């Protein structure tokens, strides 16, 4: 798996969670740009990502995420994907 595949998989998870097939994730995408991305949705996203990628996050890791690129880099690090 590479970062492009992570973006593709993450996009599918976002579309499922937000029930919006038009979502296209960009590295700079933030919670402010996706309607309904609140703390409850974030929990749902984290659980879905953990299940899909077979990884787990610490609360402190999630609290440091500012944009989708940060989420992708964290997933890549957890999955041990090199740059």
Output helix, strand, coil percentages for the chain, rounded to the nearest 5: 60, 0, 40
What tokens were used for 72?
């992708």
Share of the chain above pLDDT 90, in %: 94
The pLDDT-based confidence of 68 (bands split at 50, 70, 90) is very high
What is the rounded CA–CA span in Å between residue 55 and residue 32? 26
What is the rounded CA–CA span in Å between residue 64 and residue 71? 9
Query: Does pLDDT of 10 surpass 80?
Result: yes
Q: Which of 27, 41, 57, 1 is closest to 11 using CA atoms?
A: 27
Query: Does pLDDT of 83 surpass 70?
Result: no
Query: From 1.10.1200.10, 3.40.640.10, 1.20.120.1200, 3.40.50.10420, which CATH number describes the 3-78 domain?
Result: 1.10.1200.10
> What does the radius of gyration of the chain's CA atoms come to, in whole angstroms?
12
Q: What is the pLDDT of residues 32-62, one digit of tens each?
A: 999 999 999 999 999 999 999 999 999 999 9
Where in 1-83 does DSSP place strands (E)?
A: none
* Predicted pLDDT at 1: 81
Kindly report the average pLDDT of the chain as a whole number. 94
* Predicted pLDDT at 9: 97
């Amino acid at each position: 798996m590479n970062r492009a595949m992570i973006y593709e998989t993450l996009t599918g998870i976002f579309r499922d969670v937000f029930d919006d097939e038009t979502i296209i994730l960009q590295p700079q995408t933030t919670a402010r740009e996706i309607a309904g991305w609140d703390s409850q949705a974030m929990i749902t996203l984290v659980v879905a990502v953990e299940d899909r990628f077979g990884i787990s996050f610490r609360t402190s890791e999630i609290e440091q995420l500012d944009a989708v690129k940060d989420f992708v880099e964290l997933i890549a690090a957890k999955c041990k994907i090199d740059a």
